[in-house]
Amino acid sequence: MKKNLILILCVVLLAVAPILILNDAEFGGADGQAEEIISEVSPDYTPWMEPIWEPPSGEIESLLFALQAALGAGFIGFYLGSKRGSRKAASSIDASS
């Protein structure tokens, strides 16, 4: 229990520290940085593919990204939990035999 609490506090610290330390920093994504570099290296470059759907705002885009991350984390947690549960059930069956 104590170990889990320490790990949770470390994760919160890692998430909050950059925001507190770097007040005026922009936390942009890699897509924007790649676009800037490509336009510097080759100004006449035209993208060969366009998005099928563009979210109406940055907030919606962030929401969808967070939803995707939460679903992925839920899937991984469910998978690891079910594997651990099946392993624990198998070991308890072996111990009772």
Q: Which amino acid is at 82?
A: S
The CA–CA distances, whole Å, from 85 to 4, 35, 37, 46, 58 equal: 19, 45, 48, 51, 40
pTM of the predicted model over 0.85: no
What sign for the dihedral angle of Cα 69, 20, 37, 51?
positive
Distance CA 33, CA 68 (A): 22
Task: Count CB atoms within 10 A of the CB of residue 61.
Answer: 13
Model confidence over 24-76: pLDDT tens digits?
777 677 777 888 899 999 989 888 888 898 888 888 988 999 999 999 999 99
- Residues 1-25 have a mean pLDDT of 88
The DSSP result for 17-35, as a single string, is HHHHH-TT-----HHHHHH
Residue 97's pLDDT band (boundaries 50, 70, 90)? low
In the structure, what pLDDT confidence band is assigned to residue 81 with cuts at 50, 70 and 90? very high
